[in-house]
A = this chain, B = another copy of it.
Amino acid sequence: MANRPKLTDAGRPATFEVEAFNELGEMVPTAIAGEHPLTLYLDKRELVTLMTLGQAPEALAIGYLRNQRLVGSIDDIVEVQVDWDTDSVAIVTRHGVANLAERMEKRTVTTGCGQGTVFGGLMDEIDSIRLRDDVTLEDFQLFALVEQVRKYETIYKQAGAVHGCALAKSTPEGAEILMFVEDVGRHNAVDAIAGQMWLGEIDGSDKIFYTTGRLTSEMVIKCAQMGIPFLVSRSGLTKMGHDIAKKIGITMLGRASGRHYLLFTGTPRILRTVAQPTAHV
């Protein structure tokens, strides 16, 4: 990784304790999730202010640029400097970003997310995405993943009010979580993972993306852009999320909890071996 950008390492405390009174009038010390503004400056130009838990601000900034397709490769990023005194992150690119002003003009506020701004015609690029068809996931591996996620949700368990995302891979024994990020905005969590994948040079083409949040259009698009063929959520989905998943051919599972799930699209990649000896379709 010769071109790994120069990074700060500036996470923020994840939870804070405040006083609350319950229905009996008793004071109950209560942990709440942090929420900090973080303004992104791209080559000294103010781009956007994200509201974030602040656990992985450098990866968030990099992943944001990646998922908004403002930067095409981690090699284009020279430096990422987070400064919580000014709630800002300064990103320096190698060659600048072409047509930045023009690309910032068109914005779409997306669904149910902590980060809705999408620059440019994201939907136009969907047609070019090809996900691998030669990868499968067995149901026992899925169940192992769902079980493991529960151990990682530390901030959610303490304070609620956050969404979690995981990048995982299947193993002969089950599944292994490679990274797990929680944030007050679920798209921040996705973007932080996208940033970490670039930093770690991790290929998504055989991986599983898990989210505690809903499967909306932008969640499906971001997952597909990272080349990840499996998208799993314990929540539900929206019609546009479903439409896009079907079009891209991503394997999308909702309501995954315990040993239950609903498989919506991309069914051939899922092999059912535990409950019944026959596979889907």
Contact = CB atoms under 8 A, between A and B. Distances in A.
A20 B107 CA distance: 32
A184 interface: yes
Contacts of A216: 35, 51, 161, 184
Contacts of A186: 112
Contacts of A240: 35-37, 51
A262 interface: yes
A94 to B, nearest CB: 25
Determine how many copies of this chain the complex contains. 2
Interface stretch (A70-78, A203-211, A270-278): A270-278
A25 B235 contact: no
A247 interface: no
Interface residues of A, number: 70
Given A20-B262, A32-B239, A48-B107, 7 more contacts: A18-B242, A21-B263, A22-B263, A35-B239, A49-B108, A112-B184, A113-B185
Interface of A: 16, 18-25, 28, 30, 32-37, 46, 48-52, 106-117, 139, 159-161, 163, 184-186, 214-218, 235-242, 254, 259-264, 267, 272, 275-276, 278-280
